[in-house]
């Protein structure tokens, strides 16, 4: 590869790995498998070693991938929580051993499982647990002490009164993960146990953390002032003795050959290991020798991680069926000839969307290769085209919802196909909750739990049924529920008189929010006029783009929508703009940019006020910006506004502008 191509590819890989690392470490929502990510990182490392002049300081080969989540206190790690260099072959392990032999000819190694979870540091003073933190970027983590306190296997007090900092991995066992996932619908299944554990630990509400079956294994002494150790293996045995839940798989090896045999043994037995692993770790046992060998900024030189390839099996794709999730997304599901992969019997797996099926060139009846991504989620890797007999059948995504028969739509730029039926039973709960929400009809008292009860007790079947509820029916749902029922009936009655824009927003039309609902109400004056509008007329409305216009047009052409509107009319729900509602458009045609911290308003609140007065808000300053509302600690946006000569207003000036 020439220099120009190498430079371009390194730049691409830096962007890709940064994006996927953010999804994995910070959002706890991975988009690719661990194996695919490892291959990208490996390619980047190899290119950077050949072309070191293109290595950037922010490359993930030079640092740990996580960041500190907003809402947690920062913790500066006394000893950095480093990551490990990954290898994918035994040849690379022998090369590692050759490097270690430069320091000593009498090497012992400890081989441990690389647990697939979230790395944390636990600090003890005088034997008592005082603080716990995530790895973060290795140097600075998040203080999650309160959340870690909810994990029963973290000792709150040790059997010896020592000062010590240890490192461990928080995880969810395979059994507990499967049980949790069995309660989720297909669209909302958790991607893998690692990210569920990480997401659970990084909750701002520790009650959520406590509700998840989190466990921990300790695998290292980070700092010990009270007790000194000569070897890593010795330190692990001591940690067990004083009350820590230490990684149960730790094998002391006299040389590299024994270490590789241990790694092979773990690989053969990983199906039966009760927790997820994404490799095996080999570490120099002698702690003094470790100090001599040293570390890089990112990783220790005395340890390395061997990554196992995902186990793959062949089976038959018997059929493809479609499920409809709560948000209306229609997801194709592969029905497979049952087969055991990585310890689990697999009979079905998601095919994600239409593009995935085309990309993999899948046909019903195909022989396919499947694996478990991260040893957890089953996925189809490829079809075996050479085994086709001609009896295989093509699959086409439905054009109508398999649950309610409404139109199934795929919008431009999206991979998902959605049901747009407003009365679709698969979406009922979500649709009704949104209809009653503050952004919608603002029916006080009609929250998610009450809606669930109404549906479970067959008191309502769709949105319109809210307006036909009887007080006597509601009373039966709560002990001494008479007052609650009366208040709810009153709130429902009050909502009938809401202005038109609230109703439009409450209907849950895709892409239509409070701002665009006001625009539609102001332009068309009534629901009937919106329903009669052509696509061209909708597209001609200011601030209603082509995608939104198509969404509105398709929504109101559905029989289900017409049926719902008719039921709401019969219940005397207001369908027209109120003539006495005079829109104050003092900011019409004006664009505001908000920067810094405001004292009396959140940015959302200030933006809402601007929009209510007909103005717009933007996230970036340009020549089209009319005002920059600057709070404390305003940054680069303020500087740019000054350079462009744009009017900068204070919060006090803003309040003067919005006075009635």
Tens of pLDDT, residues 75-87: 999 999 999 999 9
Mean pLDDT of 343-360: 87
Mean pLDDT of 120-136: 95
Query: Is pLDDT of 375 > 60?
Result: no
Task: Identify the structural domains of the chain with CATH numbers, from first to last.
Answer: 3-54 (1.10.287.610), 77-306 (3.30.470.30), 312-387 (2.40.50.140), 425-570 (1.10.150.20), 591-658 (3.40.50.10190)
Distance in angstroms (rounded) separating the CA atoms of residues 145 and 128: 13
Specify the pLDDT at position 581: 53
Cα-based distances in Å from 515 to 372, 508, 509, 581, 648: 44, 13, 13, 16, 25
User: Which residues are tagged catalytic?
Assistant: 114
Q: Please calculate the CA angle 169-173-176 and round it to the nearest 5 degrees.
A: 140
Distance in angstroms (rounded) separating the CA atoms of residues 621 and 610: 16
Mean pLDDT of 367-373: 85
Token pair 């490829």 is found at: 382
* DSSP at 255: S
Q: Is 101 helix (H, G, I), strand (E, B) or coil?
A: helix
* DSSP at 387: G
State both tokens at 323.
Answer: 């499920």
Burial class (CB within 10 angstroms; exposed 0-12, middle 13-18, buried 19+) of 323: middle
Mean pLDDT of 10-15: 84
Query: Is pLDDT of 366 > 50?
Result: yes
Distance in angstroms (rounded) separating the CA atoms of residues 93 and 87: 7
By mean pLDDT, which of 113-117, 138-142, 461-465, 603-607 is the weakest?
603-607
In degrees and rounded to multiples of 5, residue 420 shows phi and psi of -110, 20
Tens of pLDDT, residues 550-560: 999 999 999 99
Tens of pLDDT, residues 91-111: 999 999 999 999 998 999 999
Query: Is pLDDT of 329 > 80?
Result: yes
Token pair 């290769």 is found at: 369
pLDDT band with cut points at 50, 70 and 90 for residue 580: low
pLDDT band with cut points at 50, 70 and 90 for residue 423: confident
The contacts of residue 448 (CB under 8 Å, 6+ apart) are 429, 433
Handedness of CA 379, 384, 390, 391 (dihedral sign): negative
Mean pLDDT of 538-557: 91
CA atoms within 13 A on the CB side of 365: 10
The count of other CB atoms within 10 Å of the CB of residue 288 is 10
Q: What percentage of the chain has pLDDT greater than the value 70? A: 93
Token pair 């068309």 is found at: 524
By mean pLDDT, which of 23-32, 103-112, 649-658 is the weakest?
23-32
Mean pLDDT of 327-340: 90
By mean pLDDT, which of 330-339, 359-368, 593-602, 619-628 is the weakest?
593-602
Contact 138, 25 (CB under 8 A): no
Token pair 């669930």 is found at: 452
Tens of pLDDT, residues 453-494: 999 999 999 999 999 999 988 988 877 788 899 999 999 999
State both tokens at 139.
Answer: 């140097």
Specify the pLDDT at position 196: 84
Distance in angstroms (rounded) separating the CA atoms of residues 274 and 174: 6
Specify the pLDDT at position 605: 82
State both tokens at 137.
Answer: 């970027």
- Locate the DSSP E strands across 326-463: 329-341, 344-350, 367-373, 377-383, 408-409, 417-419
Specify the pLDDT at position 63: 52
State both tokens at 407.
Answer: 């139109």
Cα-based distances in Å from 72 to 117, 255, 574: 20, 43, 46
Distance in angstroms (rounded) separating the CA atoms of residues 281 and 201: 24
Higher pLDDT, 373 or 489: 489
Query: Is pLDDT of 549 > 50?
Result: yes
Query: Is pLDDT of 64 > 60?
Result: no
Q: Please calculate the CA angle 444-450-453 and round it to the nearest 5 degrees.
A: 160
Q: Is the pTM of this model over 0.95?
A: no
Distance in angstroms (rounded) separating the CA atoms of residues 111 and 624: 61
Distance in angstroms (rounded) separating the CA atoms of residues 451 and 444: 12
Query: Is pLDDT of 192 > 60?
Result: yes
Contact 512, 552 (CB under 8 A): yes
State both tokens at 647.
Answer: 């009017």
Cα-based distances in Å from 617 to 513, 594, 625: 15, 8, 9
Q: Which long-range contacts (CB under 8 A, 24 or more apart) does 433-437 make?
A: 434/506, 434/508, 435/463, 435/466, 435/506, 435/507, 435/508, 436/466, 436/506, 437/506
Distance in angstroms (rounded) separating the CA atoms of residues 397 and 352: 12
Query: Is pLDDT of 65 > 60?
Result: no
Distance in angstroms (rounded) separating the CA atoms of residues 639 and 648: 10
Burial class (CB within 10 angstroms; exposed 0-12, middle 13-18, buried 19+) of 259: buried
Specify the pLDDT at position 68: 45
Distance in angstroms (rounded) separating the CA atoms of residues 244 and 154: 7
The contacts of residue 281 (CB under 8 Å, 6+ apart) are 84, 111, 112, 113, 114, 303, 304, 305, 306
Query: Is pLDDT of 163 > 70?
Result: yes
Q: What percentage of the chain has pLDDT greater than the value 90? A: 54
Query: Is pLDDT of 69 > 50?
Result: no
Using CA atoms in the order 251, 255, 258, 259, what is the torsion angle rounded to 10 degrees? 60
State both tokens at 48.
Answer: 């950077």
Among residues 93, 85, 99, the alpha carbon closest in space to that of 46 is found at 85
Handedness of CA 357, 363, 368, 372 (dihedral sign): positive
Among residues 646, 610, 643, the alpha carbon closest in space to that of 628 is found at 646
In degrees and rounded to multiples of 5, residue 289 shows phi and psi of -65, -35
Distance in angstroms (rounded) separating the CA atoms of residues 134 and 77: 10
Among residues 284, 230, 279, the alpha carbon closest in space to that of 254 is found at 284
Average pLDDT, the chain: 88
Mean pLDDT of 616-627: 89
């Amino acid at each position: 590869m020439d220099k120009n191509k190498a430079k371009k590819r390194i730049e691409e890989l830096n962007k890709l790995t940064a994006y996927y690392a953010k999804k994995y470490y910070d959002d706890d929502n991975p988009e690719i498998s661990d194996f695919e990510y490892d291959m990208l990182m490996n390619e980047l490392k190899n290119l950077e070693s050949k072309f070191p002049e293109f290595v950037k300081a922010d490359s993930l080969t030079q640092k740990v991938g996580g960041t500190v989540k907003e809402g947690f206190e920062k913790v500066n790690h006394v000893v950095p929580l480093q990551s490990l260099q990954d290898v994918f072959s035994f040849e690379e392990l022998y090369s590692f051993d050759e490097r270690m032999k430069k320091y000593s000819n009498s090497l012992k190694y400890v081989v441990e499982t690389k647990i697939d979870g979230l790395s944390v540091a636990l600090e003890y003073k005088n034997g008592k647990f005082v603080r716990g933190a995530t790895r973060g970027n290795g140097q600075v983590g998040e203080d999650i002490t309160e959340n870690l306190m909810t994990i029963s296997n973290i000792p709150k007090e040790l059997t010896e009164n020592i000062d010590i900092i240890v490192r461990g991995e928080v995880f969810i066992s395979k059994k507990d993960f499967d049980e949790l996932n069995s309660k989720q619908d297909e669209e909302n299944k958790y991607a893998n146990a690692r990210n569920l554990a990480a997401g659970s630990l990084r909750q701002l509400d520790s009650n959520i953390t406590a509700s998840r079956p989190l466990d921990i294994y300790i695998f290292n002494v980070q700092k010990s002032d009270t007790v000194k150790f000569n070897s890593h293996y010795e330190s692990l045995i001591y940690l067990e003795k004083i009350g820590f839940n230490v990684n149960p798989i730790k094998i002391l090896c006299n040389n590299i050959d024994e270490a590789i045999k241990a790694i092979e043994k773990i690989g053969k037995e990983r199906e039966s290991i009760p927790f997820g692993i994404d490799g095996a770790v080999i570490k120099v046992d002698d702690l003094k020798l470790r100090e001599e060998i040293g570390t890089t900024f990112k990783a220790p030189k005395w340890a390395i991680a061997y990554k196992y390839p995902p186990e793959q099996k062949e089976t038959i794709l018997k059929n493809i069926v479609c499920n409809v999730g709560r948000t209306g997304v229609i997801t194709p599901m592969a029905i497979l000839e049952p087969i055991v992969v990585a310890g689990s019997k697999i009979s079905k797996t998601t095919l994600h969307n239409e593009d995935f099926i085309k990309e993999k060139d899948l046909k019903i009846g195909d022989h396919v290769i499947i694996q478990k991504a991260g040893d957890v989620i089953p996925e189809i890797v490829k079809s075996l085209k050479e085994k086709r007999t001609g009896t295989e059948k093509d699959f086409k995504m439905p054009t109508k919802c398999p649950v309610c028969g409404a139109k199934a739509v795929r919008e431009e730029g999206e991979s998902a196909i959605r049901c747009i039926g407003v009365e679709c039973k698969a979406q009922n709960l979500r649709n009704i909750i949104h209809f009653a929400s503050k952004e919608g009809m603002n029916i006080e008292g009609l929250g998610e739990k009450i809606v669930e009860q109404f549906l479970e007790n067959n008191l309502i079947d769709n949105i319109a049924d809210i307006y036909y509820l009887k007080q006597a029916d509601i009373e039966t749902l709560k002990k001494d529920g008479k007052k609650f029922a009366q208040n709810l009936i009153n709130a429902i009655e009050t909502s009938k008189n809401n202005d038109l824009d609230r109703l439009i927003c409450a209907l849950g039309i895709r892409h239509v929010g409070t701002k665009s609902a006001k625009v539609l109400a102001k332009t068309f004056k009534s629901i009937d006029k919106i329903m009669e509008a052509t696509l061209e007329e909708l597209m001609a409305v200011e601030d209603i783009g082509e995608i939104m216009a198509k969404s509105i047009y398709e929504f109101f052409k559905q029989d289900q929508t017409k049926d719902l509107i008719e039921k709401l009319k019969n219940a005397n729900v207001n369908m027209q703009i109120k003539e006495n509602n005079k829109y104050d458009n003092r900011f019409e045609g004006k664009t505001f940019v908000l920067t810094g911290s405001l004292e009396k308003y959140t940015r959302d609140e200030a933006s809402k006020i601007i929009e209510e007065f007909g103005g717009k808000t933007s996230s970036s300053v340009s020549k089209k910006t009319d005002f920059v509302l600057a709070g404390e600690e305003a940054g680069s946006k303020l500087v740019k506004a000054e350079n462009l000569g744009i009017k900068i207003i204070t919060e006090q000036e803003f309040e003067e502008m919005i006075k009635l």
